[in-house]
Amino acid sequence: MLEFPIPKFVIDMYKEKYSSVPSLTQTQNILATGLQVLIEKNKKLWFDRIKHSDFIIEKKGLIEYGDMMIYYERNKDENIYKIFILSNTESEENINLLIVGLKKYQTIN
């Protein structure tokens, strides 16, 4: 059985939408500002967050990005996020474009 570093229900959502098991690409971590850009420009499919009166802390979530999905997870006590791209094997060019677009938000860890 395949092991993924993301929740099973996320994999199941991908399989239901695209009728295939996703390939998984992990990028460098990104800052919260980069995640906000992704959220604002794309459809959020699922999230786990903390909502205060004047701000929101995104903990985990899933974004639909064209024919791919992006799972994000906040590093503990930081405004830095792990990013996982779920895609088919034919999306390599789109993955590369996404990574280039996120480059200015990437961290060194």
| Higher-pLDDT residue of 3, 70 | 70
Name residue 86's beta-bridge partners: 24, 69
Residues 97-101: what's their mean pLDDT? 92
Q: Residue 3's pLDDT is what?
A: 65
What three-state secondary structure class fits 100? helix
Please state, in angstroms and rounded to a whole number, the distance separating the CA atoms of residues 103 and 98. 9
Contacts of 57 (CB under 8 A, 6+ apart): 49, 50, 74
| Spatial contact of 27 and 35, defined as CB atoms under 8 Å apart | no
The domain segmentation of the chain, as residue ranges, is 23-105
**Nearest of 38, 29, 42, 34 to residue 76 by alpha carbon:** 29
How much is the mean pLDDT over the chain? 91
Asked if pLDDT for residue 1 goes beyond 60, the answer is no
The CATH label, of 3.40.640, 3.30.160, 3.30.50, 1.10.3470, for the domain at 23-105 is: 3.30.160
Token pair belonging to 22? 């996703």
Asked if pLDDT for residue 60 goes beyond 60, the answer is yes
**pTM (2 d.p.):** 0.90
